[in-house]
Structure 1
Amino acid sequence: MPKKEGSAPPTTEIVPRVRALREQIEKIEQESGAKAIAVALRDAETGLELHYHGDRWFHAASTIKVPILLGAFAAINRGDLLPHSRVHVRNRFLSVVENIPFRVESGRDANSAVHNAIGKMMRVDELAYHMITTSSNLATNLLLGVIGSDAVNQTLKELHVDEGIELRRGVEDELAFEKRINNMVTADGLL
């Protein structure tokens, strides 16, 4: 019988592919020299999932920007923000360690457009765009400052996606990093 377009392949085809994928992941882990790796995936068509150390915790780095984006969408949905709400672009943030000020160094940021706008205004949707498409750390901290980490965490909880994601601070907070106060994620949490 011919396979319908868009239909999932039969299990007899899927299982060997998943096994081969898992073997490839194990090979990459062994050959890479990485201290740890984790993979979580879900095939949207078949619902099939693969978890390889999916509950292992990692420093979130830029992956934390996705939960912050969810927090921005939730704030817009609640009416707390509008996509065209204006935010003053500044480069001074308070560390979660004793509220000591810190800055996002322009040389460590992937985007100069937001740094070039310091002292001006940018819209929430522009900051979200730069946070996600160019991984701007400055845009991330500005959005997080407007939304608030408590609101982001509450959004994650309401959406039932809070397990495996811990938002504790803005990005580039080196004092917090030194004290091991970090944003953390698991591969399963990001799935």
Structure 2
Amino acid sequence: MKRSFVRSPYLWAMLGVAAVVTAAWVGRENYQPVLPGSLAPDFVVTAMDGSLATVEQYRGKVVLLNVWATWCAPCLQEMPSMQRLYEAMEGTDFEILAVSIDVPVGQTDLGGMPGGDLEVFAADFALTFPIFRNATGDIQRVYQTTGVPESFVIDREGIIVKKIAGPTEWDAPENEELIRRLLGS
């Protein structure tokens, strides 16, 4: 018995591959890698007090954007150095935007990680810089992060100057010098 080509799994497989290739080809011009030298993409996050914030609101300041989570051991490792840097830069146009990808307490994210209590976390580490939540993971998609922590130093014009995947000592001389240079001090 002769089989219809329309019912052939090969036809559907070829059509599927063609659709993926076409979509990639059409979307290639819209893809903008988030690398040093590129404009920092805007996003909306929620502060611990419930207010909304965007990176655009901080234009004119030097910003350390840190994507992190309460369950991330390397994130915990770098938080004290971020606080020390924040204190060293007090009175300048420097700001830290620490954006947690934790879901709220009592929930579990798609990866099975429990929700984090940002207020307790901030108190435990005596953090005074702004902490935000982005439980939907939009920031990870927009900034094309591959894990946590991942950080971006953004200049006054909104250009990404430095990108770091993994923990770092933010109060190390080279990082503080970079921030001071961007501040013009």
Band of TM-score, shorter chain: under 0.3
TM-score normalized with structure 1 length: 0.27
TM-score normalized with structure 2 length: 0.28
Bigger radius of gyration among the two: 2
Structure showing the higher helix proportion among its residues: 1
Structure showing the higher strand proportion among its residues: 2
